[in-house]
């Protein structure tokens, strides 16, 4: 039996601590009851969003005396939990299904105020799914084809961490029910030859619309899920009910998010989702599942490993040593569980590490570990992409990783110090943002889609700081500006043209040239601006700390 309780009721409260004029819940919720008392938006009396209030429920059982009577009566009549004792299997399953459906309906109402934003966002995405394509997507399709024909996750020679090939396997095997795997791709010989002429990693084949739709459909729930977590986290700031919805809209309708997921088909949003989920679970005090979520994020893209110091800081802050240690153990156990599942069988990890460390220019976009530089010493390095961006030296490479590690550990300690005083949440998100920028420092190449990692924390940090709320929308466009300036994102739409017409050459040349430019151009603006951002964040935190000390004095 469960009950709902508002933590912070702003109006008059009934037996459940709910404003008396609010219509939920009209009666206690029972197992097998699909008709949860869903509040009607029109019943709001304080002008606030009911959806937002509904989220603020706790897991504590706080039944009133009246509830207890109803519960006892239900159990006596064989309703609710008591049905498990004597009912048949079928009725039990039926009750469970009704139960799940009821809860799903409840959640839909919880997020009701977002429905138009969700609808518009999905429509835009669906239109782009069919048409657009790009180089990475062809690699993903190739991996799916290889696995569908019996190969392993690393047979194609990719260097993505294991979780992503395993997800693509589901896409490929699912599609293979209707389409022969060879139909995921269409050959474009000119693309292959352009590789030699321009020096760009263009694929020798483009994806067909069917694969484009299937792969990007996989990304949609994570686009949406990350937005919903941002929405939930944003609700905790104060009673302003516009901002969380705007935060969700800025995420879900953001051209950067839409383009990365629905044009490029890059999966950065999945790891971002699990990082946010880990953060949410930590804030809810569930260290085990936070650890599992963080482990999933790390096996998708390696960069979240740099956020572990911050996660540990969240766990240990303000707790006794024994409690903090125990919770850290739960967090680590969670990470181990996800590792056991995602790195099985054992040779999967070794295959990944071989591909990750043995190929030229591999592994440079997942966390700064650039083992390849070991084997290229002492030569001038690889010439095709850029001589200026890359660190063809083991010393430089390790120094980058060391700087990033020291930075994120320092930032975690700084956050513990600052959060003793005030502005806990905003400081947390700014610390996470600064950690992400510290990661960018360690990467030989910052690709535009990597900016997705920073966007949620930028949004939440700005939203949680009153002085930054007005320009937060402007601030959130910084990554978008990087994207469009650096990569020429819309030009990727020309590659979609290649999928449907014979205009392979011009479209490929255009995208190749812009992509080539991006590798050279994106890094330096990111480096420059990230420097200023980190300095600004440090200044904000220092000012907050100073103000807090003054107040305390």
Partner 1 sequence: LLRRNPVSAKAVGRVVIIVFLVLILVSEILLYTPALSGRLSLSVEMGVSDGRISGNDTIRSPVAADVRQALYLVHQFPQISTVYLYFDTSYPWSYSNPVDWYGISAHIETVSDFRGVPISVVVLSASQLPGFLTTSPAPGTVLIVASGVLPDTVFTKSLNLVAPWVKDGGILVWMGDRIGTYSGQSGVPLKYPSPLNPGANGTREFLNLSLLGGTSQFYNSTSMLASAFNLNYTLGIPFDDLNTTRLPAYNGTSIGNLQGGFTNLAIVPLGSGEIIYFGGPTEDATNLGLILTNLLETGLYTGQVVLVNVSSIALSAGSSIVVPFSFPLSYYPYGAGSTMVCSFFTQTNYLALFGQTNCIPLA
Sequential DSSP letters for 243-311: HHHHHHHHHHT-HHHHIIIIII---HHHHHHHHHHHHHHHHTT-HHHHHHHHHHHHHH-SGGGGGHHHH
Give whichever of 407 and 425 is closer to partner 1, judged by the CB atom: 425
- Judge whether 271 and 297 are in contact, CB under 8 Å: yes
Question: Min. distance of Cβ 357 from partner 1 in angstroms?
Answer: 12
Tokens 């219509």, residue located: 23
Phi, psi of 70 (to 5 degrees): -65, -40
Residue 360 touching partner 1 (CB under 8 A):
yes
Residue 548 burial (CB < 10 Å; 0-12/13-18/19+)? Answer: middle
Binding to partner 1, residues 295-324 (CB under 8 A) = 296
Distances (CA, A) of 172 to 65, 128, 264, 324: 55, 20, 18, 43
Residue 543 burial (CB < 10 Å; 0-12/13-18/19+)? Answer: exposed
User: Which part of the chain contacts partner 1 (CB under 8 A), choosing from 51-59, 70-78, 255-263, 322-330?
Assistant: 51-59
User: Which part of the chain contacts partner 1 (CB under 8 A), choosing from 123-131, 164-172, 239-247, 436-444?
Assistant: 164-172
Choose which of 22, 95, 117, 167 interacts with partner 1 (CB under 8 A): 167
Residue 149 touching partner 1 (CB under 8 A):
yes
Residue 346 touching partner 1 (CB under 8 A):
no
Residue 280 touching partner 1 (CB under 8 A):
yes
DSSP 343: T
- For residue 81, how many C-alpha atoms fall within 13 Å in the half-sphere facing its CB? 8
Question: Min. distance of Cβ 374 from partner 1 in angstroms?
Answer: 13
Question: Min. distance of Cβ 316 from partner 1 in angstroms?
Answer: 20
CA–CA distance, 348 with 354 (Å, rounded to integer):
10
- Judge whether 448 and 265 are in contact, CB under 8 Å: no
Choose which of 127, 358, 374, 481 interacts with partner 1 (CB under 8 A): 358
Residue 187 touching partner 1 (CB under 8 A):
yes
Residue 35 touching partner 1 (CB under 8 A):
no
Residue 506 touching partner 1 (CB under 8 A):
no
Residue 175 burial (CB < 10 Å; 0-12/13-18/19+)? Answer: buried
Which residues are registered as beta bridge partners of 231?
none
Residue 151 touching partner 1 (CB under 8 A):
yes
Question: Min. distance of Cβ 234 from partner 1 in angstroms?
Answer: 13
* β-strands 205-207, 185-187 pairing: antiparallel
Give whichever of 167 and 263 is closer to partner 1, judged by the CB atom: 167
CA–CA distance, 148 with 185 (Å, rounded to integer):
13
Phi, psi of 2 (to 5 degrees): -135, 160
Binding to partner 1, residues 456-495 (CB under 8 A) = none
Residue 91 touching partner 1 (CB under 8 A):
no
DSSP-derived 3-state class of residue 191? helix
Choose which of 132, 293, 476, 477 interacts with partner 1 (CB under 8 A): 293
CA–CA distance, 487 with 515 (Å, rounded to integer):
6
CA–CA distance, 507 with 398 (Å, rounded to integer):
39
Residue 268 touching partner 1 (CB under 8 A):
no
- Judge whether 11 and 64 are in contact, CB under 8 Å: no
Residue 102 touching partner 1 (CB under 8 A):
yes
Give whichever of 3 and 530 is closer to partner 1, judged by the CB atom: 3
Give whichever of 178 and 467 is closer to partner 1, judged by the CB atom: 178
User: Which part of the chain contacts partner 1 (CB under 8 A), choosing from 341-349, 416-424, 459-467, 525-533?
Assistant: 341-349
Residue 169 touching partner 1 (CB under 8 A):
yes
* Count of residues touching partner 1 (by CB under 8 A): 83
Binding to partner 1, residues 2-31 (CB under 8 A) = 2, 4, 29, 31
Binding to partner 1, residues 191-220 (CB under 8 A) = 192-193, 195-196, 199, 201, 204-205
DSSP 40: P
Q: Residues 6 or more apart from 244 whose CB is under 8 A from it?
A: 52, 231, 232, 234, 235, 237, 463
Helix axes 163-175, 287-300, angle to 10 degrees: 70
Give whichever of 142 and 518 is closer to partner 1, judged by the CB atom: 142
Which residues are registered as beta bridge partners of 29?
2
Residue 173 touching partner 1 (CB under 8 A):
yes
In angstroms, what is the C-alpha Rg of the chain?
A: 25
User: Which part of the chain contacts partner 1 (CB under 8 A), choosing from 258-266, 372-380, 473-481, 490-498?
Assistant: 372-380
Residue 54 touching partner 1 (CB under 8 A):
yes
Tokens matching residue 527: 């480096």
Which residues are registered as beta bridge partners of 186?
206
Give whichever of 360 and 471 is closer to partner 1, judged by the CB atom: 360
User: Which part of the chain contacts partner 1 (CB under 8 A), choosing from 208-216, 288-296, 428-436, 465-473?
Assistant: 288-296
Give whichever of 429 and 440 is closer to partner 1, judged by the CB atom: 429
Choose which of 316, 359, 473, 529 interacts with partner 1 (CB under 8 A): 359
Give whichever of 42 and 346 is closer to partner 1, judged by the CB atom: 346
Distances (CA, A) of 203 to 18, 142, 197, 264: 58, 10, 13, 14
User: Which part of the chain contacts partner 1 (CB under 8 A), choosing from 49-57, 118-126, 206-214, 469-477?
Assistant: 49-57
DSSP-derived 3-state class of residue 207? strand
Choose which of 180, 490, 506, 546 interacts with partner 1 (CB under 8 A): 180
Residue 146 touching partner 1 (CB under 8 A):
yes
Choose which of 286, 368, 460, 492 interacts with partner 1 (CB under 8 A): 286
User: Which part of the chain contacts partner 1 (CB under 8 A), choosing from 128-136, 209-217, 334-342, 486-494?
Assistant: 334-342
- Judge whether 145 and 185 are in contact, CB under 8 Å: yes
Question: Min. distance of Cβ 84 from partner 1 in angstroms?
Answer: 11
Residue 145 touching partner 1 (CB under 8 A):
yes
């Amino acid at each position: 039996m469960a009950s709902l309780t508002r933590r912070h009721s702003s109006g008059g409260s009934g037996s459940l601590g709910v404003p008396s004029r609010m219509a939920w819940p009209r009666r206690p919720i029972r197992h097998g009851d699909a008709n949860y008392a869903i509040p009607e938006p029109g019943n709001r009396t304080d002008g606030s969003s009911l959806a937002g209030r509904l989220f603020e429920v706790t897991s504590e059982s706080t039944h009133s005396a009246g509830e207890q009577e109803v519960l006892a009566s239900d159990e006596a009549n064989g309703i609710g939990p008591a049905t498990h004792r004597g009912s048949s299997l079928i009725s039990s399953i039926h009750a469970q299904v009704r139960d799940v459906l009821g809860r799903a309906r409840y959640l839909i109402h919880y997020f009701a105020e977002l429905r138009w934003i969700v609808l518009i966002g999905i429509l835009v995405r669906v239109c782009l799914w069919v048409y657009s394509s790009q180089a990475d997507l062809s690699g993903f399709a190739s991996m799916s084809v290889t696995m569908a024909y019996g190969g392993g996750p690393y047979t194609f020679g990719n260097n993505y961490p294991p979780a992503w090939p395993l997800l693509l396997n589901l896409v490929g095997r699912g599609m293979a029910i209707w389409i022969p795997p060879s139909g995921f791709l269409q050959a474009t010989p000119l693309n292959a030859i352009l590789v030699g002429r321009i020096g760009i990693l263009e694929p020798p084949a483009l994806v067909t619309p069917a694969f484009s739709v299937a792969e990007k459909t996989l990304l949609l729930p994570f686009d949406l899920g990350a937005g919903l977590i941002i929405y939930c986290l944003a609700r905790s700031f104060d009673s302003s009910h516009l901002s969380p919805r705007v935060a969700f809209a800025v995420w879900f309708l953001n051209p950067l998010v839409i383009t990365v997921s629905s044009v490029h088909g890059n999966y950065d949003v999945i790891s971002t989702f699990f990082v946010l989920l880990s953060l949410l679970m930590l804030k809810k005090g569930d260290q085990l599942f936070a650890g599992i979520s963080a482990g999933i994020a790390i096996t998708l893209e390696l960069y979240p490993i740099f956020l572990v110091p911050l996660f540990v800081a969240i766990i240990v802050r303000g707790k006794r040593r024994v409690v903090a240690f125990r919770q850290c153990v739960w967090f680590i156990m969670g990470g181990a569980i996800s590792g056991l599942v995602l790195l099985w069988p054992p040779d999967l990890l070794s295959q990944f590490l071989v591909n990750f460390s043995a190929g030229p220019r591999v592994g440079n976009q997942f966390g700064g570990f650039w083992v390849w530089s070991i084997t290229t010493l002492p030569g001038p390095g690889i010439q095709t992409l850029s001589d200026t961006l890359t660190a063809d030296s083991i010393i430089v490479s390790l120094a980058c990783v060391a700087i990033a590690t020291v930075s994120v550990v320092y930032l975690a300690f700084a956050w513990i110090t600052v959060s003793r005083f005030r502005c806990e949440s905003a400081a947390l998100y700014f610390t996470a943002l600064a950690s992400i920028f510290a990661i960018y420092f360690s990467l030989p190449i910052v690709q535009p889609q990597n900016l997705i990692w920073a966007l949620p924390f930028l949004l939440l940090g700005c939203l949680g700081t009153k002085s930054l709320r007005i320009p937060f929308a402007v601030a959130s466009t910084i990554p978008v500006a990087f994207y469009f300036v650096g990569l020429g994102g819309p030009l990727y739409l020309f590659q979609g043209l290649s999928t449907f017409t014979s205009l392979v050459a011009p479209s490929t040349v255009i995208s190749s040239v812009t992509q080539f430019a991006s590798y050279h151009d994106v890094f330096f603006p990111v480096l420059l601006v990230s420097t200023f951002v980190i300095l600004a964040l440090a200044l904000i935190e220092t000012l907050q700390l100073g103000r807090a000390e003054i107040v305390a004095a």
